[in-house]
Homo-oligomer: A and B are copies of this chain.
C-alpha cells in the first residue's frame, strides 16, 4: 500500500511495476486524464489543488480499506496536483492480486472512494477565458466516520 499526492507528471508503468509480484497473476491499472470537454464546455487546462496532508492521509486510509477488503491485494495510488494540460494523467491506481476479480474490484473501490472523500479540488480553464471550480457531484452529505 502506498498513496501519495505529487506535483510531478505521473508514470503509470512505474506503478504497474510496483505492484508486480510472482504470486500476482492479475494487475489492473486505472489512469484518469484531463479531458477536453466537460458539460459541453471546451476545457483548455486545469489546476488541481489539495489540502495535501489530509488528502494523503485520507488516500492512505482508502488504500488500507482496500487491502483489508480484498485480502492479499497490493494497491498503490498517486494523485497529481498543480497545473495540468489536456491529456495529462491526474490520477493513477495500480492493483494486483493472484486473481483478477480482486484486482479489478480494489482498483475500482479506490477511485470511487477517492472521488468522494479525498480533499482535492479542480478548477477548469475554459476556451472563453473563464475559470471555474468543479466538483464530482458525489460529496457525502454526512461527515464520514
Give residues in A with beta carbon < 8 Å to B.
Answer: 12-13, 16, 20, 22-37, 86-87, 98, 100, 103-104, 107-108, 111
Contact = CB atoms under 8 A, between A and B. Distances in A.
A18 to B, nearest CB: 13
B23 A35 contact: yes
A37 B23 CA distance: 7
Given A12-B13, A16-B29, A24-B35, 19 more contacts: A12-B16, A16-B31, A20-B33, A22-B87, A23-B36, A24-B33, A25-B32, A25-B33, A26-B31, A26-B32, A27-B29, A28-B28, A30-B100, A30-B103, A30-B104, A32-B100, A35-B98, A104-B104, A104-B107
A26 B22 CA distance: 28
Contacts of A24: 33, 35
A26, A31, A36, A107 — which one has the most chain B CB atoms within 10 A of its CB?
A: A31
B30 A28 contact: yes
Given A12-B16, A16-B12, A100-B111, A35 B25 contact: yes
Contact of A28 (B16, B29, B35): B29
A7 to B, nearest CB: 21
